[in-house]
Amino acid sequence: MNILKLLQQRKSVRAFLDKEVETEKINAILSAASHAPSGANIQPWQVAVVGGETKKELQTQIENSFRQGVRGEADYQYYPKKWIRPYKFRRINCGKLMYTTLNIKRSDKQRRLDQWAANYRAFDAPVLLLFFMDASMEAGSFLDCGMFLQSIMLAALEQGLATCPQAAFSDYPAIIKKTLGYPQNSILLCGMAIGYEDKDALVNSYRTPREDISTFTRYFT
């Protein structure tokens, strides 16, 4: 498939078919993504492929904590502590698109809570990928891992699979590391739901807009 088309077709999918993802496909995706660039070729990424009973156990623990109002402490600050324009507007608009598509009103707190809780089940995808770095890594390795993540998402499309990168999982690093046996001082970057898209699901019907390149590009000649 044409790489330009893959980049345009990639989207965050939030409903998946109840269909097993072949291990061979996961391995092919990770093998291809391992060619992503990294500073001095340090390849700082570590990946946990979570499915089956382990996924059920993990997501149950996290969703129960969330519904009880217990929030974990992330290993790093993902979003700014103070939002400014235009980023604040884009963030608000992103949420509005999803809730409007699903006809979830702002006053319907229970449905909004349930929709957010679906994050912690990886939207019921059959496989959850979790990404870690050693605690000794610095900010540059976040760039490296970002390129690795994008490579996974594009390779997944080539394999007929859909993905949703999820910062939400970074809220519960202690539970995840304990359950999977990763060191508590490692850095949990994020998760990623992966599986076959449910193309009939309403939540998968909308697309978030993208800025025209003129808003973020300057040419110097």
Domain segments of the chain as ranges: 9-210
Is pLDDT of 1 > 90? no
Per-residue model confidence (pLDDT) at position 27: 98
- As a whole-number percent, the residues of the chain with pLDDT over 70 amount to 100
Q: Residue 104 and residue 163: Cα distance in Å, rounded?
A: 23
Q: Which 8-state DSSP code applies to residue 21?
A: P
Mean pLDDT of the residues in the chain: 97
Please list the alpha-helical segments (H only) found in 1-138.
3-9, 23-33, 52-67, 87-101, 109-117
The answer to whether the CB of 151 falls within 8 A of the CB of 129 is no
Per-residue model confidence (pLDDT) at position 45: 98
Diameter of the chain by CA atoms?
A: 57
SS3 43: coil
Q: What is the CATH number of domain 9-210?
A: 3.40.109.10
Q: What confidence tier does 199 reach under pLDDT thresholds 50, 70, 90?
A: very high
Per-residue model confidence (pLDDT) at position 169: 98
**Could you check whether the bond before residue 86 is cis, i.e. omega within 30 degrees of 0?**
yes
Note the pLDDT tens digit of each residue in 90-108.
Answer: 999 999 999 999 999 999 9
Q: Residue 48 and residue 183: Cα distance in Å, rounded?
A: 13
The answer to whether the CB of 165 falls within 8 A of the CB of 192 is yes
Q: Residue 142 and residue 39: Cα distance in Å, rounded?
A: 11
